Amino acid sequence: MKRLDQVLSNDGVSAELELVIKDTMVACKDIAYKLGQGELAGILGATEDENIQGETQKMLDVISNDLLKDILCANPYVKGVGSEEEDYTIAGHADGKYLVTFDPLDGSSNIDVNLSVGTIFSILEAPNDNRTGDDQAVFLQPGNKQVAAGYVLYGPSTLLVMTTGKGVNLFTLDTNVGEFVLTKEQLKVTEDTAEFAINMSNQRFWEPEMQQYIDDCLQGEEGPLGKRYNMRWVASMVAEVHRILIRGGIFMYPYDSRDPTKAGKLRLMYEGNPMSMIVEQAGGLSSTGRMCIMDVEPKDIHDRVPVILGSKNEVTKVVAMFGDYIPKK
Ligand code: FDP
């Protein structure tokens, strides 16, 4: 079986980028170990702090963030990092070629109930100028500029799903040797699906287009979509996207009016962009409803975005509800 480094070399990934990815995985293996220890390590529960998004930080959010931040900032090829858990971007090496953004522990409300969580990462090329990684402006590039994106899913087994722009591969952590080994090549999202994932408790706050689509799904065979739908909501984006990569589906965290100043709940640079690159590299689609997520120009490292992604034909049906935009593929 091929190891991660062999797959990256076969894909023609530069030695520098390979080292950045491998260091990201060193941190993720440590996170996986700590999650596995759970209560025994005394690291479950909340801290007294909130992150810049106003969310209470779990102890493991902070530990995972520190692991990724420390290892990546020490990597000579990393110019800077941006994290969902950090107020500002952090400088690495002034002449580093890459910028890494990450959500260290996505779905962290699941930690205390021992359900799946994940780490999401996105890698961009750093602009070749005198600015350093603590200048957030260097990070403000749309998702279509990503050179790599991936997630690690900490579930019954620890999985890495990633792309460097040549399709999407799935690796499983072999805990006997501490290596990620290739277990599925070239994942493909089915074009059609009858399974949707959305937090239905927010229904009354959605825009009319989204209300309409879900109403149509709920009508099943008798409705305009003509099929019976199933629903799933793990409340962990990594787990939802993984399910979609394995058996198809559509995941939505749309705009809602609970806080009209926020474009959505999910973060563009830590969640929307990397997950869109993975899903689109696997033949799926991603959209805000009105434009391709990866075409959104970020104004701030912590920008939020409405997210609709998954099986191509189903995402196309949802964006058709919004009416004024046709997805690229
Ligand atoms: P969490 O807040 O627990 O980190 O990243 C945000 C996220 O989880 C996603 O992983 C998940 O899909 C979503 O929020 C869950 O949102 P709800 O709390 O609305 O269910």
CA of 238 from ligand 1 middle (Å) equals 10
CA-CA-CA-CA torsion sign (155, 82, 275, 145):
negative
Cα gap 203→258, rounded to integer Å: 11
Max Cα distance, the chain (Å)? 61
Q: What is the pLDDT of residue 327?
A: 52
Local structure of 206: helix, strand or coil: strand
Distance 265 CA to ligand 1 centre (A): 8
Q: What atom in ligand 1 is closest to the CA of residue 233? A: 20
Measured from the CB, is residue 60 less than 6 Å from ligand 1?
no
What's the mean pLDDT in 274-298? 97
Residue 276's pLDDT band (boundaries 50, 70, 90)?
very high
pLDDT above 90 (res 318): yes
Residue 303 Cα to ligand 1 middle (Å): 16
Ligand 1 geometric centre to CA of 137 (Å) = 27
What is d(CA 28, CA 67) in angstroms, rounded to the nearest whole number?
A: 8
CA of 232 to the centre of ligand 1 (A): 14
Task: For ligand 1, pick from 50, 64, 109, 153 the residue to mutate: most ligand atoms within 8 Å of CB.
Answer: 109
Among residues of the chain, what percentage have pLDDT more than 70?
96
Question: Alpha helix locations (H) across the chain?
Answer: 4-10, 15-37, 59-73, 208-218, 237-247, 273-281, 312-322
Q: Is the pLDDT of residue 325 over 90?
A: no
DSSP 230-290: EE---S-HHHHHHHHHHH--EEEE--BTTSTTSS-SEEIIIIIHHHHHHHHHTT-EEE-SS
Residue type, 224: P
Query: pLDDT digits over 235-264, tens only?
Result: 999 999 999 999 999 999 999 999 989 989
In the predicted structure, residue 329 carries a pLDDT above the cut 50: no
Mean pLDDT score of the chain, rounded to an integer?
Answer: 94
User: Which atom of ligand 1 is closest in space to residue 234's alpha carbon?
Assistant: 12
Two structure tokens written together for 296: 């959104």
Which residue in 148, 139, 142 sits closest to 89, CA to CA? 139
For the segment 125-178, what is each residue's pLDDT rounded down to a tens digit?
999 999 999 999 999 999 999 999 999 999 999 999 999 999 999 999 999 999
Split at pLDDT 50, 70, 90, the class of 68 is very high
Based on DSSP, count helices (H) and strands (E) in the chain, helices before strands: 7, 17
- Residue 108: CB within 6 Å of ligand 1? yes
Q: Is residue 326 predicted with pLDDT exceeding 80? A: no
- Going from the Cα of 233 to the center of ligand 1, the distance in angstroms, rounded, reads 10
* Residue 14, C-beta contacts closer than 8 angstroms, at least 6 positions apart: none
pLDDT at position 5 over 70? yes
Residue of the nearest CA to atom 18 in ligand 1? Answer: 235
Q: Give the predicted TM-score (pTM) of the model.
A: 0.95
Q: What mean pLDDT is predicted for residues 304-321?
A: 97
Q: What is the pLDDT of residues 186-237, one digit of tens each?
A: 999 999 999 999 999 999 999 999 999 999 999 999 999 999 999 999 999 9
Query: Taking residues 66-91, what's their average pLDDT?
Result: 97
